[in-house]
Amino acid sequence: MTESTVSERLAGWGRELDPAALPDSTRATMRNILVDIVGLCVAARGTDYVTATLGAIEPGGHTVVGQGIRASAAGAALVNGTAAHGEDFDDTFEGGPVHSGVVIVPALLAAAETYRLPSDRVVLGMAAGTELLCRLALTLPKAVHKAGFHPTAVLGTFAATFGICVACKAEEEVTANALGIAGSMASGIIEYLGDGSWTKRMHPGWSAQSALRAYAMAKAGFIGPRKVFEGTHGAFRTFAPSIEAKTEELFAGLGEKFVSDLITFKPYPCGTMVQPYIDCAISLREQGAPLESITSIACKTAEGIVHRLWEPLDLKQRPPTAYAAKFSVPFGVALGLVRGHADLGDFTGEAISDLALLAVAGKVGFEVDPANPYPKAFTGHVRITYSDGRVLEAERDHMRGGAVEPLSPEEIDAKFAANVAFGGSSEAARLLEVCNRIGSMQGDYQLIAELGTP
């Protein structure tokens, strides 16, 4: 008998999944992801990048969250994914890093309205897609970024496709073909890091709309490669050529535990690995660290994040755009020390011209710590040296909001309310109730339309 391929094994697992058998912890995580994503979509209303994306889609019957308009399934998925990821305030996964909700939720909302799914299938699809994305990240640690690709974009296309297949009760043959097709749709390079341009923002939306197409084509009988993951020209070798895929991570305990229960919800709207450094800087400020007479600020860091968050250092010390500032550890450290917070209003054109912030950011440098546990944990370290020889130092061995120090449901709901208010809406209570109904598997696809009202 021929050994099953990776996609065939995944298809078999997906076919066995049952909404009623989802662990309570996983259901709670999916509810929190939905709440977080809907709030972020509303927060991004009126931004230039969302306005541009809205101008590029087709009309239709699918919900665009918080916009008061409807679009094609692909258009809704594109806008919702772009809006949710636009401020880099969405969930992440220590061990990846990947962002799950920004791909999975837009894909499943559009699929639910297309195929008229009940909420329990929507939540199940979210859980399946999120789990696959996290496990794919564990299978290819650091290597997708190293190859110049955005893991959320590449791996998210497979994950969202799988989530739709599970939600729609696809036959195993259809799921395997859909994953094979998704491999030729997966894309997303990280050149945006060089100039702070917008393409990272659109990656999740593009992956979500691609997943819709991959499933529809497979459902219609289109055939995709069976060894799309492990084949000679498959995704593992194409997108992570520097390592041998850790395929055991993909299947270890699959069906027995959901590693996605450990997803991190961000406290700050910026790059994932910047966040522990902001907390270190805020801690030093609260301890009374003065801004005067600083000679240098040194940060221990992981080699795996240097090319994204530290180099070129002069650009990171003076970000060219507000978006570029979100992926600068020097700027994040400066916000923590100078302002004592890093909110949506702190990553703006005004902020990147703030001379007080730039003066501090210009003194921030790094040293690679060979013992840093990245990507298993996201750490932070800030050491300030003063002209009189004094040294103040703060360190974190984990990211706040993650498995070690999770945000409570109340904190996630408070973040949601703040994001909705930031987007100019007074509908937080109503939108939260809709999310809670979907998250608790009540009702069906018709609830989704209620998320579109601005």
Residue after which a domain boundary falls, among 371, 396, 421: 396
Residues 380 and 429 in one domain: no
Surface-to-core class of residue 121, CB atoms within 10 Å of its CB (0-12 exposed, 13-18 middle, 19+ buried): buried
On whether the CB atoms of residues 346 and 339 are closer than 8 A, the answer is yes
Condensed to tens digits (0 to 9), the pLDDT of residues 232-266 reads 999 999 999 999 999 999 999 998 999 999 999 99
Q: What is the pLDDT of residue 258?
A: 97
Largest CA distance in the chain: 74
Kindly write down the DSSP assignment for every residue of 202-250, as one continuous string: HHHHHHHHHHHHHHHHHHTT----TTTTTSTTSHHHHH-TTS---HHHH
Among 377, 396, 415, identify where a domain stops.
Answer: 396
pTM of the model: 0.94
Q: Are residues 434 and 374 located together in one domain of the fold?
A: no
Res 289 pLDDT > 70 = yes
In a domain, residue 401? The reply is no
Q: How many domains does the chain have?
A: 2
Tell me the mean pLDDT in the region 69-82. Answer: 98
In angstroms, the CA 301 to CA 208 distance is: 32
List the domain range (segments joined by +) for residue 136. 6-266+406-451
Residue 1's pLDDT is what? 58
Read off the pLDDT band of 196 (50, 70, 90): confident
CATH number, domain of 311, equals 3.30.1330.120
**Residue 207 and residue 156 in contact, taking contact as beta carbons nearer than 8 Å:** yes
Given a cut of 70, is residue 35 above it in pLDDT? Answer: yes
Closest-CA residue to 198 (of 80, 320, 49): 49
Asked whether residue 401 carries a pLDDT value surpassing 80, the answer given is: yes
pLDDT at 33 over 90: yes
- What is the reported pLDDT for 454? 79
Could you give the percent of the chain with pLDDT greater than 90? 96
Name the pLDDT band for 194 (thresholds 50, 70, 90).
Answer: confident
Residue 252 sits in the same domain as residue 358 = no
Q: What is the spatial distance between Cα 452 and Cα 63, in angstroms, rounded to a whole number?
A: 6
Judgement on whether residues 350 and 410 belong to the same structural domain of the protein: no
